[in-house]
Amino acid sequence: MAARPIKTLSQLDPERIRDNLAMVRSEVAAACRRAGRDPQGVEIVAASKYISVDGMEALAQAGINVVGENRAQDLVAKHECYGGRFTWDFIGHLQSNKVRQILPLVRLIHSVDSLSAVREIDRRTPGGITTNVLLEVNIGQERGKYGIIPSEVDRFLEEAAKFPKVNFTGLMTMPPPAADPEVVRPAFAALRRLASELSQKWHGKYSFENLSMGTSQDFVAAVEEGATIVRVGGVLYG
């Protein structure tokens, strides 16, 4: 599959992004009403993987507050120019050898799925504080896909609990690809149920109140099923 083109400042219209952001917020609010939820409980993270360094200016002008980056080197480059203008999350696959680059820059890592990454986060987190992370779950148990399969989550957490400076605050997933959001709704519901089970099992150690699920194609269904964070890109920039 060919890589998507990188969008630069000259290719992005801040006003259009602002309008699209308002539309996403409106759809999130409507989904929350249908689900009996408070819209304030859902955060919109702008996925910036295909935005160039200079293109980040358009996002700032549009009023975007939180961005999620997929690659460590891109996060570093963008943070050097716009560090104070956004809150930064890391949403891509986390390799343990990239932890040292991203750890000082982000408030949340969405994609922890290996003990080597847990170990490295613990090692590089300064004493007296913890680093907040989400556990990435391969909810569809797809072969070759990142994330811990549901049946292995408890075992993984038993080992991860040996590293006290890594604080799991929720779960993240990328469901199987589907053109129809209704096809992936059961995956979102399954992640919500898993989070509820883990909250009871790990009460006093970890909380699993954060659910990072839903992208541009399916964020409405994700919110209706309990998402607290949606990661959207194309719907904002198109």
User: Given pLDDT bands bounded at 50, 70 and 90, which one contains residue 94?
Assistant: very high
First to last CA, the chain: 20
Q: Is residue 17 part of a domain?
A: yes
Closest CA to 133 of 145, 142, 144, 124: 124
Task: Give yes or no for residue 232 having a pLDDT over 70.
Answer: yes
Give the C-alpha separation, 213 to 56, whole Å: 23
pLDDT in tens, 187-222: 999 999 999 999 999 999 999 999 999 999 999 999
Segment 43-90, tens digit of pLDDT: 999 999 999 999 999 999 999 999 999 999 999 999 999 999 999 999
Give the pLDDT score at 1: 43
Is 212 inside any structural domain?
Answer: yes
Residue 106 inside a domain? The answer is: yes
Domain that holds residue 229: 9-237
In this structure, are residues 14 and 22 in contact, taking their beta carbons and an 8 Å threshold?
no
pLDDT bracket for residue 177 (50, 70, 90): confident
Q: Could you read off the pLDDT of 1-17 as tens digits, one per residue? A: 445 779 998 999 999 99
DSSP 178: -
Tally of CB atoms within 10 A around 128: 6
184: three-class secondary structure by DSSP: helix
Separation in Å, CA 21 to CA 17, 99, 129, 170, 212 = 6, 30, 34, 25, 18
Residue 18 has pLDDT above 70, yes or no: yes
CA–CA dist 182, 56 (Å, integer): 32
Which token pair is 143? Answer: 């072969």
Residue 1 lies in a domain: no
| Residue 150 domain-assigned (yes or no) | yes
Measured on CA atoms in the order 200, 149, 230, 51, is the torsion positive or negative?
Answer: positive
The pLDDT of residue 3 is 59
pTM metric for this prediction: 0.95
**Overall number of domains in the chain:** 1
User: Domain with 97 in it: what CATH number?
Assistant: 3.20.20.10
Question: Is 4 within a domain?
Answer: no
Mean pLDDT value across residues 106-113: 98
Domain annotation covers residue 3: no
Residue pair 79/103 in contact by the 8 Å Cβ criterion? no
Provide the mean pLDDT of the chain. 96
The pLDDT, as a whole number, for residue 114 is: 98
Q: Are 85 and 113 in contact (CB under 8 A)?
A: no
Please indicate, yes or no, if residue 2 is contained in any of the structural domains: no
Query: Contact at 8 Å (CB) between 44 and 24?
Result: yes
